[in-house]
Structure 1
Amino acid sequence: MRTLAVIALAGLMWPFAAGAQTCPPRPQETVRAAEAIDGDTLRLEDGRIVRLVSVLAPKAEPGARADAARRLADTARSALAEAVVGRDLGLAITGQKQDRHGRFLAHAFVDSDPDRWLQRDIVAKGLAWAYALEDNYRCVGSLLDAEAGARAARVGLWATDLGAIADGGRPRQLSGRTGRFAIVEGRVLSVGERPRRTYLNFGTNWSEDFTVYVDRGDCARFDTADIALKGLAGRRVRVRGWILDDRGPAIHMTNPEQLEIVDAR
């Protein structure tokens, strides 16, 4: 059984406050795509760069997975180009409008058709992971459903080592993954509450084992989603995010869309 939550925080949703519960969101602007830069980034005919928010396509990477990563990165870019280049796209902004690189962060719809949600399509084909950021997490629950279908069907990245879900009880599986996106599953052995953070501990050696932490200012989001972080002790969960080095591999969890409870109680 999976627990997911979508939080409506109107103050973060400009300009998507009206009808904020609608997923997928409604297109707000029509543009034309000129180029697929990679599997999740587009150049528009007006020169703007659009980063498809809430999805992460494979990128080239070093190491044992380099060949698979390169092939999938090429496949994802080609598939995106075939779907959108020279066509109209509807864009919807649902959170932060631009990233630090000046790229526009948007959901995209082929021919401005709400039923042709580009993010959902590429995730369903196994050409991207779903992910959530602190200020851009709208509709991630729907993308996780599409991802689950692709994983079950073993298509795209899920048919390769890139689709391997790391074991939270074996931190060595995350060795060398610092700064990279990962999905990690395991049993929470204990929950530590500190003045500044709450820690989900997946081992007993806190200087080496995998840990997930939530800053105090983000805990209210979990409360709103009826997820008691302290009550996760003993539960088997799946978390996603970028691996940090915090006296052992760690993920900073800012919102409930990064968390799935995968055991039944």
Structure 2
Amino acid sequence: MLRTSLVQLAALAALSSVAAAAAACEQLRMEPGGIVVEVTDGDTVVLNNGRVVRMIGTQAPKLPLGRDGFDTWPLAPEAKQALEAMVLNKSVRLGYGGEKIDRYERHLAHVFVDGVDGEVWAQQAMVAQGLARVYSFPDNRACLDLLFAAEGRARLSRLGIWSDPYYSVRQAGEPRKLLDRAGHYELVEGRILLADRNSGRVYLNFGRFWKEDFTAVIESPALRIFEASGVDPVALEGALVRIRGWVDDRDGPRIEVTHPEQIEVLATP
């Protein structure tokens, strides 16, 4: 009971800081949105004008939503309920920071709703409560620093998903366990043993046996984004990092990195 109360207090504190920070992401192109008439899951809403809005920059636990054989992720119902409590039947503004529409005709936007203490940034609020994590794309990278900060606080406080082993940060030095997570979106921590540029791509190797150990791969289109951002991934050799992305199995577990924000530098050599 005490733990539940502490979690609730931490969530309330996080939400109050969210309201104060709602205006901090100033590079967004703001537009009127509409009234939220449906919440599909913890990161997707439907407006009264028919727009389906994918809350860009975050990934909430997923519901099956009619997909055969898809298992409900832990805390997915709770994430949907939290977003409903925040935005359902309320007027919202939309902020665009990159590609505006995806291939499913969903609007890719940051969602802002009036709250008791001012306008609340829905993405940041969900992340701050531990009911979503940061999830970015190469063509949509606005405001991620604020979302990373909110995620870090929630993870340290073990709020929401961060108290469930399903969402644990994985260790790069345990490749066999990572292979068990192939097909999953994961956060992986470890020290880059070797950063090597070869055949137009960069390999970040976390072990001595590159066909067995965990590797992050940066292809040439992504390298152009790194260069434009002033980031040289080869210079990360020896750094302790956290990498997020989808795990696959190609000569051992690996994650393809498509933009710099997928790599958080925790300590330099």
Q: With structure 2 as the length reference, what TM-score do the two structures score? A: 0.82
Partner of 2:67: none
Partner of 1:140: 144
Give distance in 1, aligned partners of 2:94 and 2:177: 38
Does the 8 A contact of 1:27 with 1:109 survive in 2? no
- Structure 1 residue 24 displacement after superposition: 6.5
Aligned partner letter, 2:56: V
Partner of 2:249: 245
1:146 aligns to what SS in structure 2? Answer: helix
Deviations 1:57-114, CA, capped at 9 Å, x for gaps: 01258xxxx78x34x1000000101111110010112211222222111100003998
Give distance in 1, aligned partners of 2:77 and 2:236: 39
Does the 8 A contact of 1:181 with 1:242 survive in 2? yes
Does the 8 A contact of 1:195 with 1:216 survive in 2? no
Partner of 2:76: 73
Quick check: 1:34 aligned with 2:42?
no
- Structure 1 residue 256 displacement after superposition: 1.4
Give distance in 1, aligned partners of 2:149 and 2:27: 13
Does the 8 A contact of 2:33 with 2:47 survive in 1? no
1:89-238 map, 5 Å: 89-111=92-114, 115-238=119-242
Deviates more, 1:93-102 or 1:215-224: 215-224
Give distance in 2, aligned partners of 1:216 and 1:205: 23
Higher relative contact order (CA 8 A, sep 6+): 1
Q: Quickly say closer, same or farther: Cα 1:85–1:154, change in 2 above 3 A.
A: same
Deviations 1:103-146, CA, capped at 9 Å, x for gaps: 11110000399841110000000000102111111111110000
Runs of 5+ unmatched residues, structure 1: 1-20
Partner of 2:53: 50
Runs of 5+ unmatched residues, structure 2: 1-23, 65-70
Q: With structure 1 as the length reference, what TM-score do the two structures score? A: 0.83
Deviations 1:142-195, CA, capped at 9 Å, x for gaps: 100000010111111011113310101111222232232110000111112112
Q: In the comparison of the two structures, how many residue pairs are matched? A: 239
Aligned partner letter, 1:85: L
Percent identity of equivalent pairs: 38
1:28 aligns to what SS in structure 2? Answer: strand
- Structure 1 residue 261 displacement after superposition: 0.9
Deviates more, 1:214-223 or 1:102-111: 214-223
Does the 8 A contact of 2:182 with 2:247 survive in 1? yes
Give distance in 2, aligned partners of 1:169 and 1:23: 39
2:226 aligns to what SS in structure 1? Answer: helix
